[in-house]
Structure formats: structure tokens, C-alpha cells
């Protein structure tokens, strides 16, 4: 064992292994991996918008880039088959063989069928229009009880139109065109008052609770506006509702007053004295 440790060839072999490992690591870091990942190699994406698609393809391939037509749109300001948009954008640094996505001006205007939007909520109608490739046009409001419900659309459902066309909407503002009588709900229980308001075509607004011991809990104490005999359909009434008062036992303090008329006379009082006193009175 000692002779082996004194052998110079052992130490030479260890040094060779260490140097080989270092050289391998340096080669991987500086040569092999950069070549594999195209490190420090980049391509500047050219500006191919407003260019015919055939010319754009030729330019991309010459730079070592790929392409794919992602979408087609209709734009009257450009001839058919011209590039309207690209991703990545022009002058962006990418690696070789990167795919560039193209939006091309359609040679034929794409069309879609307008969906039925009436009776939908405004939000759902907007989502439907976007899903069909249409635009939300002007939104106008008119009196109707169902708030934010679409009442009319400028292009009837089932109509074939150009993709990107705008559809105008008429939406309910939640108020009816007619006035209704305000029901007398003061003194009613809250649930009963809610039913009365719905039957009258009115809505319940804010509820404020007020502590009182004059009326049972959950009864209507007052309404706002209190002086309105009639309101438009769908308008709101604010309610003040009774709330239970927390009772506490009163502490006995101070002088205790006893009604003498209910107290029997002490047993040691002579009867004659009581008779005399009552006779004098």
C-alpha cells in the first residue's frame, strides 16, 4: 500500500483525470451546448406587413424562418393576400427556424351569421358577438322592467353579414314606461312586503334596520321615498325594518316603594287602634 502511494504514476493519472474533466466541461459550456442551442445566433424578424404573402414567404425562408397563416381578415384599404399583421413583430430578435404567424387580407370577404341576442343580458350578448367575429355597435337604453336585457338588435338574427360588422343593441334600463301605485307596506312583515312590491312591479332597494320595542322584529317601519304615491315600473323603494331590542335586567337600586294598600297590618298592632283610625278617615 505504501509503495502504491509513492508511485508517481498514480498522481499523474489523477492529474490527467482532473484536466480531462475540466476540458470536457469547458467544451460543453463554450462549444457543444452553444452549437446545439444556437447560442448567440439570432435572426432579426423583417417587417413584412403591407407585403404580398408570396414575397413575405420568400423573405422569411431566406432568413431561415418559418411561417404560418394564423388568421384572415377583410380590409378594404389593402389588396387581397397582403399581410395585415405579424407575430413576432418586426425588428424582434428570434432564433433560427422560428415560426412567424401571419394575418392575411382575405381575397373574399369572410361572412358570419348573426346570432339571436334578444332577451340575453347585455354582457352575454357582447360575448356572443365577439365569439362570432362581430363588433358591438351603439348601445341605447329604453324603459323596460328587465334591467340590462337586450330588447332589440339592429341586424336580425340569422342574417349573413361580413365578419367584423357592428351590431347596435337596444337595452332595458330596468324602468317601466308606466307608473304603478306604491303599495301600503308599512307595518307588514318583510317577506310579505317583498311580495307586495314584486306584485306591484317595484323593486326593493336598501334595507336599514332600526331597533325598537314598539313593533315586532322584521316589520316595515317606513319607506323611502315616503311621499310617493306612484313610481315607474322597476323603481326601487328603500325600507326601514324593525330589529329586536336586546333586553337587560334592570339593576335594583335606589329606594324601593311599596304600595301600602296591599300590605297587611303587623300582628302586634291592637285591633282597636285600626278601627279607630279607619273610622276617623
| Distance set, CA 208 to CA 197, 202, 217 (Å) | 17, 18, 13
Query: Using one digit for the tens of pLDDT, what is the confidence trace for 38-76?
Result: 555 688 999 999 899 999 999 999 999 999 998 888 787
pLDDT at 188: 92
Q: How confident is the model at residue 123 (pLDDT cuts 50, 70, 90)?
A: very high
- 43-105 and 111-172: identical CATH topology: yes
CATH number for 111-172: choose from 1.10.645.10, 3.40.630.10, 3.30.365.10, 3.30.10.20: 3.30.10.20
pLDDT at 251 over 90: no
- Mapped onto helix, strand or coil, the DSSP state of residue 247 is coil
Residue ranges per domain, the chain? Answer: 43-105, 111-172, 179-243
**Which residues contact residue 150 at a Cβ distance below 8 angstroms, ignoring those fewer than 6 apart?**
117, 118, 119, 120, 121, 122, 125, 169, 170, 171, 172
CATH number for 43-105: choose from 3.40.190.10, 3.30.10.20, 3.20.20.110, 2.60.120.10: 3.30.10.20
pLDDT at 179: 80
Q: What is the CATH number of domain 179-243?
A: 3.30.10.20
- pTM comes to 0.40
Query: Using one digit for the tens of pLDDT, what is the confidence trace for 3-46?
Result: 655 666 767 778 788 888 888 887 777 766 666 555 556 889 99
End-to-end CA distance of the chain: 138
Amino acid at each position: 500500500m505504501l509503495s502504491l502511494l509513492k508511485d508517481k504514476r498514480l498522481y499523474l493519472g489523477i492529474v490527467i483525470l482532473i484536466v480531462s474533466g475540466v476540458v470536457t466541461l469547458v467544451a460543453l459550456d463554450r462549444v457543444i451546448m452553444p452549437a446545439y442551442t444556437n447560442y448567440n445566433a439570432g435572426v432579426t424578424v423583417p417587417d413584412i406587413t403591407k407585403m404580398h404573402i408570396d414575397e413575405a414567404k420568400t423573405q422569411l425562408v431566406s432568413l431561415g424562418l418559418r411561417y404560418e397563416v394564423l388568421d384572415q381578415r377583410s380590409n378594404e384599404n389593402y389588396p387581397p393576400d397582403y399581410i395585415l399583421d405579424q407575430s413576432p413583430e418586426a425588428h424582434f430578435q428570434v432564433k433560427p427556424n422560428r415560426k412567424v404567424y401571419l394575418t392575411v387580407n382575405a381575397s373574399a370577404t369572410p361572412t358570419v351569421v348573426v346570432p339571436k341576442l334578444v332577451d340575453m343580458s347585455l354582457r352575454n350578448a357582447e360575448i356572443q358577438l365577439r365569439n362570432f367575429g362581430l363588433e358591438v355597435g351603439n348601445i341605447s337604453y329604453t324603459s323596460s322592467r328587465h334591467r340590462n336585457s337586450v330588447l332589440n338588435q339592429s341586424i336580425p338574427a340569422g342574417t349573413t353579414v361580413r365578419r367584423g360588422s357592428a351590431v347596435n343593441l337596444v337595452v332595458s334600463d330596468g324602468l317601466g314606461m308606466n307608473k304603478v301605485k306604491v303599495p301600503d307596506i308599512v307595518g307588514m312583515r318583510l317577506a310579505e312586503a317583498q311580495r307586495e312590491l314584486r306584485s306591484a312591479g317595484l323593486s326593493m332597494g336598501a334595507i336599514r334596520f332600526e331597533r325598537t320595542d314598539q313593533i315586532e322584529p322584521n316589520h316595515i317601519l317606513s319607506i323611502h321615498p315616503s311621499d310617493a304615491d306612484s313610481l315607474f315600473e322597476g323603481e326601487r323603494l328603500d325600507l326601514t325594518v324593525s330589529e329586536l331590542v336586546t333586553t337587560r335586567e334592570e339593576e335594583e337600586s335606589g329606594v324601593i316603594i311599596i304600595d301600602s294598600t296591599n300590605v297587611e297590618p303587623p300582628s302586634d298592632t291592637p285591633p282597636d287602634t285600626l278601627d279607630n283610625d279607619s273610622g276617623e278617615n
